[in-house]
Amino acid sequence: MKRAIALVIIFILLTSANSFAEDRSKISKDDRPPKTSDSRKTGEKQEKAKDNTPGPGIDEKTGYPVSNPYSRKTVSYKIPYKVEVPSKYDQDQDRKYPLLVSLHGGGQRGSDITTIKAPNFARYEKNGYNFEFITISPLCPNGYQWMEFLPELNSIINDTVSKYRVDINRIYLTGTSMGGAGTWYLAAAYPKQFAAIMPVIACCDPALAVNLKDIPIWAMNGAKDPVVPLQYAQNTINALKAVGAKELKFTVDPEGGHTAPSFIKPEDTYN
């Protein structure tokens, strides 16, 4: 688990606009998520996603946390997204890969999927990091929050699992700011979906801690964050400890604001 979360940190720290992997970001005219061709399939039936029964505190009809203030809205928008694969994906048709879902912050919202930065696999490999994940990068529309699209995001994950060679026991979730909040709430809504999560500079309703207690978590926050005050994030962590969270790490940057801790480097976390 530590290795996987460390790789997620590398993803956050080293992500750039250039991609070494194939870009599968074309959107259909009605803004529905892109369909993939059969060229990447092995000819065998792909794995099905894990049991996605909503956890406690989740409305079974809508898939949203009962306490989620955004769940009352009716949203019909289809989330566009990118799927990236490792550069060697085609070389071994029997190999399955971990899946990383990355939710962007509020400043990247929009309608142009090409604005979403893809992982720079070439840079990872140049620095000696073997970043072999399939990645999903969805795009949230202007004026909305990720918490308004929890069932849609889960459907994107399930669709990707059905079309790509995903190891369903290694599905990871991360996000920063608004994406960090989305990480908390999506994992709370579908706790059996994820092997580990990393919410950065974000918090969630402490009442949902019971849903998250069995998921390995590495959360981060800045002590001087003016957007998500440290106490808000600490309240989430305290609630997780109170319900007996099994694997929980909370990193605080004592001088940090609303950014990921700058002192965490890939070489410090990779192993």
Cα 207 to chain centroid, rounded: 21
**Average model confidence (pLDDT) across the chain:** 76
Which tens digits make up the pLDDT trace of 237-253? 999 999 999 899 999 99
- Give the pLDDT score at 180: 95
Q: How confident is the model at residue 26 (pLDDT cuts 50, 70, 90)?
A: very low
Rounded CA-CA distance 24/82 in Å is 6
Count of all residues that appear for the chain in the document: 271
| Tokens standing for residue 227 | 């957007």
Which tens digits make up the pLDDT trace of 109-120? 999 988 887 555
- Give the pLDDT score at 266: 52
- Give the pLDDT score at 43: 34
Of the candidates 233, 194, 200, 232, which has an alpha carbon nearest to the alpha carbon of residue 214? 194
Which tens digits make up the pLDDT trace of 176-222? 999 999 999 999 999 999 999 999 999 999 999 999 999 999 999 99
Of the candidates 227, 183, 194, 190, which has an alpha carbon nearest to the alpha carbon of residue 98? 194
pLDDT of 41 higher than 90: no
HSE-up (13 A, CA, CB side) for residue 21: 27
Q: How confident is the model at residue 77 (pLDDT cuts 50, 70, 90)?
A: confident
- β 97-103/81-84 pair status: unpaired
pLDDT of 31 higher than 60: no
Mean pLDDT check: name the lowest of 37-41, 61-65, 253-257.
37-41
pLDDT of 83 higher than 70: yes
Mean pLDDT of 148-167: 95
pLDDT of 28 higher than 50: no
Of the candidates 36, 26, 40, which has an alpha carbon nearest to the alpha carbon of residue 80? 26
